Structure 1
Amino acid sequence: MKKILIAANRTEKTKRYVANAPGCDISVRRALLKKGFSVDMLYLEKRDFGAPLYKLKKKILDANPSCIFNLFDGFRSDSSKEAEFAEILEMTGIPFTGNSPWTLAACLDKETTKRILEKRGIATPRGVFIKSLADLRMDGLNFPLFIKPCFEDASIGINPDVFLAKENDIHGIVPRKLKEFPKGLIIEEFIPGKEYHAGFLRNFPYEMLGISVNNYSKHKDFLPFLTYSSKWKSDSEEFRKLIPSLDENIPAHLKYKIAEISSKAGEALGCRGYYRVDLRERDGQIFVLDMNPNPDISIYSGFMRQAYRIGYAYDDVIARIVALAGVSAKEEEEGVCALRTKKHA
């Protein structure tokens, strides 16, 4: 029996790292047990990275797994540990699920992501990177603008005040945001309209699971973008109401463009296993807003809802992600064919 070691953020009632959605570790563990794997858990805390890292490597090697299911995505105060942990996994020589340290680090650094995508001819919103007020040059940017921390994920720092409707808003908000996120900010043009979320499975060439849509015109009482609260605070009204739709009628030509651009973006950033792309459209042009190389794959997540819609069962998707950690192209194709014969109950 093959042993899988699930690596995840430590979750407690008083200490929950929200970037890894609560319950994801439990969902994955149950799925792997149903598929006949034996499962061990490795819950990571900050002190694991404070000690010499060879100790963490030894802890992993001593568990002697066939594969590591990597759900770890850093800490609320230090997202960079996500890529650092993946480096440790590479050092063990044990296959692990999800993306490489390079991909995780590149996608965490939003300025690097923009440069890589733009070199491949993939549009991102026009913007500037700043580390201080001295760097603040608008360079002809058109309002409204949008501010986001350059080195965070899981919508950390995305609050109502990141939307800048006019130039006067800059002087009060930007200094405060720089103090909160001293590593730097991205200030870019806000692209209005619907927001699309495309989920992908497999290594390149990828399979698109589906496209979810946030149509903000249906929720005029809320801001036209997803905040930290709307993604993670289950007691908030926006969390309950701003749910991406899988039933939105997307024109065939737009669906094709989203799939093509998202796949091209994944290849540019070396994505493997699974990932998600967030996009918007303006005047026929598609803009990539964000790349998520470690999206939530808990049983009720948006990613899995896309998989269910095309007939995939949760347990089979999880087993497939394990297989993708180290299989030949032929085995991978056989696995995908097997997936397609399953229907979600």
Structure 2
Amino acid sequence: MGEKIRVAVVFGGRSSEHAISCVSAGSILGALDPDEFEVIPVGITREGRWVLTSGDPSQLAIEGQKLPEITAASGELVALNQRELIVLDPAHGSSALASVDVVFPALHGAYGEDGTIQGLLEMSGIPYVGANVFASAAAMDKEFTKKLAAAEGIPTGAYVVLRAGQELGEADRQRLGLPVFVKPSRAGSSHGISKVHDWSELDAAVATARAIDPKVLVEAAIVGREVECGVLEGEAGGAPEASLLAEVRVVGGEHEFYDFEAKYLGEDCQYDIPADLPPHVTARVQELATRTFTAVDCAGLARVDFFVTPDNEVLLNEINTMPGFTPLSMFPRMWAASGLDYSKLVSRLVRTALRRGTGLH
């Protein structure tokens, strides 16, 4: 047998999605075949320190309402120097830990899914799983996702962007109507999202979103079904591939929409895989999913989310370049239903990243 592939799984991070990143990483760490891969688990604290952790998946799981967190006490401090991880020991000096063949950045949200760590890895010449710098940044920013989609003729709902200091004008209120959703432009896991039923609620909703991101989107509410599609970069550089679809249904009375608590802390959601849609609608969602993947210049993987209206119109909601990655998350579940189980999915992503390498493509 040849040498094992050394994979650094990087997780945690400075964003509001720190805990969900830890949960995703725990599943990835458990899925990497030790006969094929040597795994280096690297957590990033909320302050931005890199820590060599134990990699114990049980320490990265949600326990009841308690969310996992990486702290400076989680392990030894490390730094990245080109392809080497360096252990930082104030008492005995720095020492090289290991060279890294590929990084799996299981980071969600800002400072990870937005092109920042991708830029660092590009400069270090280390292959990594997922989208490049531009695609990561464009997909993280919902404003520019919508603009790129519009340029490719991919339909989206009506929206308005409020930059710092801007307010929603009367003409836009008339155009959007009520209710509207107010959300940070550059966040995920439904953090900072509010549903506004009366314009008197708008200021508070904007303040909630701006606590995460000064740029805010106000979107017209779309009556319809929430449908998701997983997309993988084609093997050997082929066309992107679409999974079976999933439909998300919020069934509990406590949640008006698919918010953070409904996603991760409660039992008020049901998921249908494959989604019960007419064949032509399924095909339309899959087509738009792969077109969105290409429009944003994605690589590796993405989960693309849509609304399907009562008259079967398909509208893009958003694209996630590093979606939730537990075996219960929608992206792995859609691919499992499509015939690619979790461990094979993780292995394929790592090998795709190695084949692609870094630099312009």
**TM-score under structure 2 length normalisation:** 0.76
| 2:70 is the counterpart of 1:69 | no
1:295, CA displacement in angstroms? 0.7
SS at match of 1:88: helix
Structure 1 residues 57-206: aligned runs within 5 Å: 57-58=80-81, 60-62=83-85, 63-74=98-109, 79-82=110-113, 83-132=115-164, 134-137=166-169, 138-139=171-172, 140-158=175-193, 162-174=194-206, 176-177=207-208, 179-181=210-212, 183-203=214-234, 205-206=239-240
Between structures 1 and 2, the one with greater strand share: 2
User: Residue type matched to 1:212 in 2?
Assistant: A
Q: Work out which of the residue numbers 325, 337, 352 in structure 2 matches 1:297.
A: 325
Q: Which residue of 2 aligns with 1:334?
A: none
Q: Deviations over 1:198-254 (max 9, x none)?
A: 1112246111122110234xx272444201111122xxxxx3121322154211010
Matched-pair contact (CA < 8 Å) for 1:198–1:262: yes
Structure 1 residues 7-86: aligned runs within 5 Å: 7-10=9-12, 17-20=18-21, 22=23, 24-45=24-45, 46-48=47-49, 56-58=79-81, 60-62=83-85, 63-74=98-109, 79-82=110-113, 83-86=115-118
Looking at structure 1, the residues matched to 83 and 229 of structure 2 have their Cα atoms a distance apart, in angstroms, of 33
Looking at structure 2, the residues matched to 36 and 132 of structure 1 have their Cα atoms a distance apart, in angstroms, of 48
| 2:289 is the counterpart of 1:259 | no
SS at match of 2:176: coil
Looking at structure 2, the residues matched to 87 and 172 of structure 1 have their Cα atoms a distance apart, in angstroms, of 35
Q: Work out which of the residue numbers 246, 254, 258 in structure 2 matches 1:212.
A: 246
Q: Which residue of 2 aligns with 1:288?
A: 316
SS at match of 1:325: helix
1:28, CA displacement in angstroms? 2.0
Looking at structure 1, the residues matched to 107 and 166 of structure 2 have their Cα atoms a distance apart, in angstroms, of 36
User: Residue type matched to 1:167 in 2?
Assistant: W
Matched-pair contact (CA < 8 Å) for 1:18–1:232: no
Which deviates more, 318-327 or 39-48? 39-48
Q: CA RMSD in A?
A: 2.5
**TM-score under structure 1 length normalisation:** 0.80
Looking at structure 1, the residues matched to 8 and 34 of structure 2 have their Cα atoms a distance apart, in angstroms, of 15
Looking at structure 2, the residues matched to 212 and 178 of structure 1 have their Cα atoms a distance apart, in angstroms, of 27
Question: What 5-or-longer segments of structure 2 have no aligned partner?
Answer: 51-77, 86-97, 357-361
User: Residue type matched to 1:210 in 2?
Assistant: L
1:302, CA displacement in angstroms? 1.8
1:188, CA displacement in angstroms? 1.0
Between structures 1 and 2, the one with greater helix share: 1
Count of residues paired in the alignment: 304
1:34, CA displacement in angstroms? 4.0
